[in-house]
Structures are given as structure tokens and as C-alpha cells.
Structure 1
């Protein structure tokens, strides 16, 4: 059963990652203006945030399975509509609903994993889930680019649509429904979203998610500029990004993944953020391919420590009646971080050197603030026990 969930996670993220190399050229066939292309690309992340939050409420009300099956079915259907889009308005509308329905998938899938996991094994489970995301990050862009270049962009949408609808059928048939009676009984008493933001550990995971994806957005925007500025072949942008993904997957899957349940999740989170910050600082001054590859291995190590830890924090500090909203809010911060990272640095028009330093500064300042808070919190707990 767990392998089906991991397959669904891969399918959901391949849907996102396969769009990276094709959406800008596809949008240009409707309107070549940079403003329109930027609107089409950004629309997905905007509506995805809305979908994440709505999914959170519906998961806690109706159960994760229903939301997951609905999300897969609706996303598969909307992907087919890309083929029939004829005007810029059609494309923007399809893009909006694609992001909205796609926002149901990841919170529902991770809620299913968390609900089925033992409380002391959440870190390892989230590490394996992170490996599924990493596989998507490697496969998705290559799949989108290869299919689009050899056939057409429409075939990318149709193949992913078929995968989504097939996954919906598998999820409907094979996934257990869970204790729906319990979910419905508790839904009327379930907490609202604002109290979740006030929970220190959940707030820390949300801040960690935003920081991670701000760095990711900065990396996606700046790394190709760096490769171009240093006059390396453009293919190295993809190879470098794959390097960090492969590094993370190895850490997720090898026996070393036991560390995620050996050490406190918030300590692993801070370590991951610190390592990513250092990797970005080093990357800002990298002028050789060998050094850039080393930086990406370091970045992948930080990502591998951070991603499972922030997911495990949510799983460990929520109940079944609040977990859906918590994961929905969490992935809304994910989307917000990506948009903020690439958009802010794009508006500032900074060089790749300065851009990487800005992203690193945000991470390191967040680490310092969290470290001080956790240290004070630990001291207060010790005093109260005395």
C-alpha cells in the first residue's frame, strides 16, 4: 500500500516538474510578451496555494482518500484541456484550475502517509517520501523536454493526464478509507487554521518550508544565469540540478536515513538550512564546473536533512483532526516560497553572485532566529521540570 502512495507522490510532482522546460515556450505560442508568459508560469503556484489550503479543510472533513482521488481525477481532466486551449484567456483559465486541483494532491498524499505511520518512525517515512519527490525532480524536466521535442507539447499533457487518471482509479480501489466516522465526528470540533500558525513547532516547519523553497526558487532562476555567464554549455544547468537531486535521494534511501528518527526533527531542520545557506554562499563565488558540482552535492545534503524533518514535525505535532489543514498550510508555504524566491530576485535584477548571497542571508538569519528560540524554549522546559 505504501508503494502506491509513493507512486502517487512521484506522479504528482512529475506533473509539476515536467512543466518547467515547456510552459514558457507553450505560453509564447499564445502571446509572446514577457508579462503574459510570466503570468502563465506564476498562475500555477498562485492557485496551487489556494488548492493546498482548501485541501487541508476537506481532508479533515471528508478524509484524505476522497480528496486524493478527487484531486487526481480533476487534475487529469484539466490537463487534457491544455490541448484544446485556443486563446490566451483559455490558457490562463486552464492554468489556474490546473494549479488549484493540483494543490489537493500533495497534502492528501502526505496526510495518508502520516496517518499510517508510527509516531517514532515519521522521519524515516518522510525521508522515503522525499526520495519520491527527488525522483520526480530528476525525471520530470527530462520527460517534458524529450517528449515535447520529439513529439509535441500536447503529448506531455496527455501522458501525464493518463497517469493521473490511472492513479485515481488505483487509489480509489486499493487505498483504505480510514476511520471516516471518526473524521466526521471530529470535523465539527476541528481547529481552525490560525491556531496552527500559533503552534511553535508547526510555525517552525512552515518557516523552514518557505526558506527551503525560497532557496529553490532562487536556484532555479539563478543557476542557468550563472552557467550562461561562465560560458558553459546550457545542458550543465540540468546536470547540476540533477546532482543535488541524486545526492538527496541517496541520503533518503541509504541506511543513513535512520538519523531522521535518531535526532530531534528541529535540530535536523536547522542543520539542513545551515548547510544549504553555506552551499549558496560557496556557489555565489564558484567559477569552475568542478566547484559548482561540489556546491550542489552540499546543497543536496542540506535538502535531504531539511525536507523530511519539516514534514515529520507536522506529522508529530498534529492529530488526525488537524493534520490535513496542517499539511495544506505547509504546502501553501512551499508554493509561496518558490514564487517569492524567483520573483523577488527577478524584480531586483541582481547578478547571480548577489542573488545567491541574498537567498543565503535569508536562510542563515532564519537559522539564527530559530536557534535562539529553541534554546530559550529548552531552558524554560528544564526550569519547569525543576
Structure 2
């Protein structure tokens, strides 16, 4: 478990560093003379350039392990930030953000695959995935304010320079302190557990009370519509919330609203007992909860926005670790790199589609209703894909 502890530490530093850029990138681009449409293009390209990186990471992590990809991603992203501190026009920033999107695409699949290989027990894997979500969410709560404060104190150039060196230092530490778990070793331990159970009890199933991974034929591809839908809804929320601010303190108001979402996610991510519940039902009911919340906003029900956003955060805190655990169960303990690469691709596609739909259709239909529709569609498809192919375990074990 030392690997998990070190990985969480480095992940927190990395996510803190990356999220600290969110409130300062747009003002920095404007200071270089970028128009709002250009900034939208830059954000879209950042998500699109994730796709080739996710594809490469999927096959590379399964073959070579996670450690080198984690180090490469952090090291290169840090170098890009240092170069970014010296840009003088928006086109240079566009190119560097595209490169950053590509190299950071390796980080999430590599980290999640390494966490999944630490154990073959489903409950412990669920806790590890929840820990990953907790670290990510905690960083997203505190880092935006820290990034804005840093720029206010030392300016854009010095802030990007400092953040770049922090990532490089994190990469060097990861090289020495993260112990990789070879894919072959993980698969061997998982496969050796199954024959042992079969020998002791021929009628036993691989998904019995021991909590070991099932052997499945493969992951139904429609399952990945769910991460596309959740990421699309999140992208719509990220697009719409800043437009709600009508006061001079709009930026502060927007930051507070996003913090409320993150606090809701922290609440459910800290409820580790949820990881003993079926990941299938957690994913399904969490998606339905999100859909109801977006419909509440779209229909303009007399419910405080803060309360709805907090519940949206709680839903995210339930879905994301549950979805990772569900994919692990469906994969049968094989090809973690490709599994989480496909998950990252789905998230990237949804993050690109959501703001695009909101920007083009918000005059004809509520963007939040679009989020409700895609979430309900994904929730309807999920039982058709996997409802009969996984364990029906819903109790505490």
C-alpha cells in the first residue's frame, strides 16, 4: 500500500498544480490579446488533444506499466508550463495548451491502472478509486484560489514558471518513490486466484463473497456512453455557471459555486462504506440523481441553486469511483491500461461536446435540459448493456 500512499501524494501535488491554472488561463490569454472565441477554441483543442494521448497510454500502460508514463506526463507538462511563461501571443499559447493536453492524457489512465493493480479485491479497489477521486476533488477545491492569489502576488510569468518547476520536481520524486506493478504480475495473481477457488469448490463463482474479480468476455462499448454523458453535463455546467454572474464580483461568485460542487463531491467520496455497495447500482442511481438535479435547474423549480449544486457534487462523488469499479469488474482484471484509456477518451469527448452544444443551442433550449436528456439516455442504456452480466451484490460485505 506504500505505492498508493506515494501515488496519492504526487497526484495531489499534480492536480493542485494543474487546477491552479484554471482561474488564470483565461485572463492570461486576454492579456495576450486573445478574443473569447479564440479562448473557446483553445479549451476545445485541449480536450481533443487528449484523445491520441489516451489511445497511446492505453496500449503502453498494459505493456510497459504505469510508472514511466506518470513520470513522462508530469515532466513534460512542467516543461511546457515553463515555456508557457514566456509566450508573447495567443497562437503560441494555443500550441502549448494543445501539447499540454496531449502529454497530460497519459496521467489519468496510468494512475488509475496502477491503483487497480494494487489489489484484486473489489471492495479495496473501490476504496482506492474513491481515494483517487477524493484527492482530485480536494485539489480542485483549494487550488483555484491559490492560483489566483499566486498571480496577484507575483504575476503570470513567475506563476507559470513556479508551477512548471513544481511539476518537474514531482516527476523526479515519482521516479524514485513510485513502485510499478507489472501488468503480467497483476494478471497472474488474479488468474491464480480463480483456479484455487474452483479447486476448493467447483460450483463457486469468481464473484462470490471473497470479492475477487469476475472473468467477463469484455466491456460492452455502450457502457462508455455514461462517462460521455456525465462529462458532457459537467461541461455544460462549467459553461453556464460563469454566465450567471451579473455583478462586479461575478468571478468570486462563480468560484464559490464551483467550490460548492466540489464540497458535495468530497462529502460522498469520504463515505467509504459506499464502496461496499454494488458499483453498478451506485453508477445507475448516481446518474439518475444528476439527471434530476439538472432537470430541477432547467425547469426553474424554487430550489436554492447552492443546494442543487451541492447535490450535483454528491452525485459526482458517487458516480466516478463507482464507474471505475464497474469497469474493473467488467474487464475481468485484464487490460487496465486500455480500459482506463477508453474511460479517459469518453470523458474527453463529453467535455468537448457539452460546451459546444450549450453554446449553439442555449437560445433554443435550456442547456441544463440537454444535460438532463443525455444523462437519462445513458441511464436507460446502462441496464440494457450490463444489467444481467454483473454481480447483483447490493449488500454490505
Task: Compute the TM-score of the two structures, normalised by the length of structure 2.
Answer: 0.82
Distance (Å, rounded) in 2 between the aligned partners of 1:137 and 1:299: 15
Query: Contact conserved, 2:120 with 2:333, CA < 8 A, in 1?
Result: no
Q: Mark the CA change 1:301 to 1:180 in structure 2 (over 3 Å): closer, same or farther.
A: closer
Give 2:265's match in structure 1, choosing from 248, 253, 258: 248
Query: Which residue of structure 1 aligns with residue 296 of structure 2?
Result: 282
Q: Mark the CA change 1:286 to 1:237 in structure 2 (over 3 Å): closer, same or farther.
A: farther
Pairs aligned (count):
362
Question: Counting helix residues as a fraction of each chain, which structure ranks higher?
Answer: 1
Q: Mark the CA change 1:321 to 1:377 in structure 2 (over 3 Å): closer, same or farther.
A: closer
Q: Structure 1 stretch 328-337 or stretch 85-94: which is displaced more?
A: 85-94
Q: Structure 1 stretch 148-157 or stretch 323-332: which is displaced more?
A: 148-157
Residue 292 of structure 1 pairs with residue 310 of structure 2: no
Give 2:164's match in structure 1, choosing from 161, 166, 171: 161
Q: How does 1:15-164 map to 2 (within 5 A)?
A: 15-121=17-123, 122-164=125-167
**Gapped runs of 5+ residues in structure 2?**
189-215, 393-397
Query: Which residue of structure 2 aligns with residue 210 of structure 1?
Result: 228
Query: Contact conserved, 1:205 with 1:311, CA < 8 A, in 2?
Result: no
Q: Mark the CA change 1:260 to 1:177 in structure 2 (over 3 Å): closer, same or farther.
A: closer
Distance (Å, rounded) in 1 between the aligned partners of 2:145 and 2:259: 10
Distance (Å, rounded) in 2 between the aligned partners of 1:15 and 1:205: 32
Q: CA RMSD in A?
A: 2.9
Distance (Å, rounded) in 1 between the aligned partners of 2:57 and 2:356: 25
Query: Which residue of structure 2 aligns with residue 368 of structure 1?
Result: 380
SS in structure 1 of the partner of residue 22 of structure 2: coil
Query: Contact conserved, 2:86 with 2:157, CA < 8 A, in 1?
Result: no
Distance (Å, rounded) in 2 between the aligned partners of 1:261 and 1:334: 25
Query: Which residue of structure 2 aligns with residue 354 of structure 1?
Result: 366
Distance (Å, rounded) in 2 between the aligned partners of 1:277 and 1:219: 12
Distance (Å, rounded) in 1 between the aligned partners of 2:237 and 2:322: 21
Residue 328 of structure 1 pairs with residue 341 of structure 2: yes
| Residues 220-248 of structure 1 deviation map (CA, whole Å, 9 limit, x = unaligned) | 1112223439x985422221221121121
The structural deviation recorded for 1:320 is: 6.5
Query: Which residue of structure 1 aligns with residue 182 of structure 2?
Result: 179
Query: Which residue of structure 1 aligns with residue 395 of structure 2?
Result: none
**Gapped runs of 5+ residues in structure 1?**
186-197, 382-386
Query: Contact conserved, 2:71 with 2:171, CA < 8 A, in 1?
Result: yes
The structural deviation recorded for 1:159 is: 2.7
Residue 303 of structure 1 pairs with residue 305 of structure 2: no
Q: Mark the CA change 1:204 to 1:171 in structure 2 (over 3 Å): closer, same or farther.
A: farther
